[in-house]
Amino acid sequence: MAITQEDVLRALSYVEEPDLGKDLVTLNMIEDVRIDGLNVSFSVILTTPACPLKELIHNACVRAIHTMVDKNAVVNVNLTSRVTTARAANSAILSGVKNIIAIASGKGGVGKSTVTANLAIALARTGAKVGLIDADISGPSMPTMFGVEDHRPHVFQTPEGKNLILPIEKFGVKLMSIGFLAPSDNAIVWRGPMASSALKQFISEVDWGELDYLLIDMPPGTSDIHLTLVQTVPVTGALIVTTPQKVALADAQKGLQMFRQPQINVPVLGVIENMAWFTPAELPDSKYFIFGEGGGQKLAEKHEVPLLGQIPLVQSIRETGDQGTPAITQEGTPAAAVFEQVAEEVARQISIRNAVTPRTQVVEMNR
């Protein structure tokens, strides 16, 4: 008997998206079903191009067609993606941006900027449209890490007469940094209100265009800038970067709790443990837990959020950052593989958040 579209959809209605707990047909993830004799093809629209479950979903689809439709069918699954959003369709601010992600740490120097830079590039390399705001006034390091210290963003005028800044583009990421506005030895001027107004400018006066993910590298601790951010845009979720060290964890917890305060109410997507162990280049299989062991896991468990990854302390991560070619760009290296995995986990948690958690509200200002 000839295979029909109904046969195919019925079979695929038994394939579950493991994270979202519903089947692919109910989730409207199947499109473009074509049948030609025993040749069956269809598209599966994933929630992110960085989906770590790609292979699993692909195999489950093929198995479902072979088991429930025809064991001799030649199945061609076209995996593609449309990044989900929990933002309102008519947002006035950052209207083309689907997900706004704050990256925070409690303590300074835990590697938040290093993690953010690698994460942004890793997401862009999967095919996602990615922007990055460096709002870290304590030391805006993105221009160095992206190798664009000497670049200055151009300003252009829209047909409506509004001035817009064009972000710098490198490694497939659109970048704006406080570091582009003042030489690094002037960093001290970026205290308080000036930094907050720079962040607002980056949000409303930069031509971000369409983005799947806009990452915002926040200053360490909890500051005015954090409040400015949540009062200006609905933040999709926050990532907390920490080392396993006790003092870093205590500060990371404060940062995490700030986002969770009822009046702020930004979902915490998970914890990333950086400098989880030291691995010398000449002993790639050795792990020295110089900042303690398991701290990120404990923090994640305590606050019931996922541990999104553990990044080792390796010399090449520091060196490549200083050289303006972050570790993720060094294809085939263990460090690049770690950041790829972290990026997949982050994208996965954003998709889950968008499916199950209500939209974030902008925090009202109390004057």
329 binds ligand ATP (CB under 6 A): no
> In degrees to the nearest 10, what's the CA dihedral of 87, 88, 92, 94?
20
- For residue 110, say whether it is annotated as part of any ligand binding site: yes
> In degrees to the nearest 10, what's the CA dihedral of 361, 362, 366, 367?
-160
Q: Can you read off the two tokens belonging to residue 222?
A: 């909890």
20 binds ligand ATP (CB under 6 A): no
314 binds ligand ATP (CB under 6 A): yes
105 binds ligand ATP (CB under 6 A): yes
Q: Output the CA torsion sign for 356, 358, 362, 365.
A: negative
Q: Looking at 29, 30, 102, 110, which residue binds ligand ATP (CB under 6 A)?
A: 110
Q: Looking at 47, 48, 99, 114, which residue binds ligand ATP (CB under 6 A)?
A: 114
306 binds ligand ATP (CB under 6 A): no
Compute the least distance from the CB of residue 92 to ligand ATP, in Å: 30
Compute the least distance from the CB of residue 103 to ligand ATP, in Å: 9
Q: Looking at 7, 17, 134, 136, which residue binds ligand ATP (CB under 6 A)?
A: 136
Q: Build a one-symbol-per-residue string for 201-230: x at contacts with ligand ATP by CB under 6 A, - elsewhere.
A: -------------------x----------
**DSSP H/E element including 300:** helix 295-302
Burial of 338 per CB tally in 10 Å (0-12, 13-18, 19+): buried
Q: Can you read off the two tokens belonging to residue 285?
A: 């299989």
Complex with ligand ATP: residue 48 or 310, whichever CB lies closer: 310
- For residue 108, say whether it is annotated as part of any ligand binding site: yes
Q: Build a one-symbol-per-residue string for 58-97: x at contacts with ligand ATP by CB under 6 A, - elsewhere.
A: ----------------------------------------
3-state secondary structure of 330: coil
How many angstroms separate the CA atoms of 194 and 184, rounded?
Answer: 15
**DSSP H/E element including 41:** strand 39-46
Compute the least distance from the CB of residue 217 to ligand ATP, in Å: 7
191 binds ligand ATP (CB under 6 A): no
Complex with ligand ATP: residue 40 or 308, whichever CB lies closer: 308
How many angstroms separate the CA atoms of 114 and 112, rounded?
Answer: 5
Nearest residue to 83 via CA among 347, 362, 366, 363: 347
109 binds ligand ATP (CB under 6 A): yes
Give alpha helix (H) positions in 91-221: 112-125, 142-145, 193-204
Give alpha helix (H) positions in 18-106: 54-68
Compute the least distance from the CB of residue 321 to ligand ATP, in Å: 4
How many angstroms separate the CA atoms of 267 and 104, rounded?
Answer: 13
Q: Looking at 48, 84, 126, 141, which residue binds ligand ATP (CB under 6 A)?
A: 141
- For residue 294, say whether it is annotated as part of any ligand binding site: no
- For residue 111, say whether it is annotated as part of any ligand binding site: yes
Complex with ligand ATP: residue 61 or 275, whichever CB lies closer: 275
Complex with ligand ATP: residue 112 or 174, whichever CB lies closer: 112
Q: How big is the site for ligand ATP, counted in residues (CB under 6 A)?
A: 21
Q: Looking at 108, 172, 294, 324, which residue binds ligand ATP (CB under 6 A)?
A: 108
Pairing between β-strand 307-313 and β-strand 155-157 as defined by DSSP bridges: unpaired
Residues 255-284 that bind ligand ATP (CB under 6 A): 274-275
Burial annotation 247-266 (CB, 10 A radius, 16+ → b, else e): ebbebbbebbebbeeeebeb
* Cβ 135 vs Cβ 249: under 8 Å: no
321 binds ligand ATP (CB under 6 A): yes
* Cβ 64 vs Cβ 17: under 8 Å: no
324 binds ligand ATP (CB under 6 A): no
Residues of this chain that bind ligand ATP (CB under 6 A) = 105, 108-114, 136, 138-139, 141, 220, 274-275, 311, 313-314, 317-318, 321
Q: Which residues are annotated as a binding site?
A: 106-113
Residue numbering of the annotated binding site for ATP: 106-113
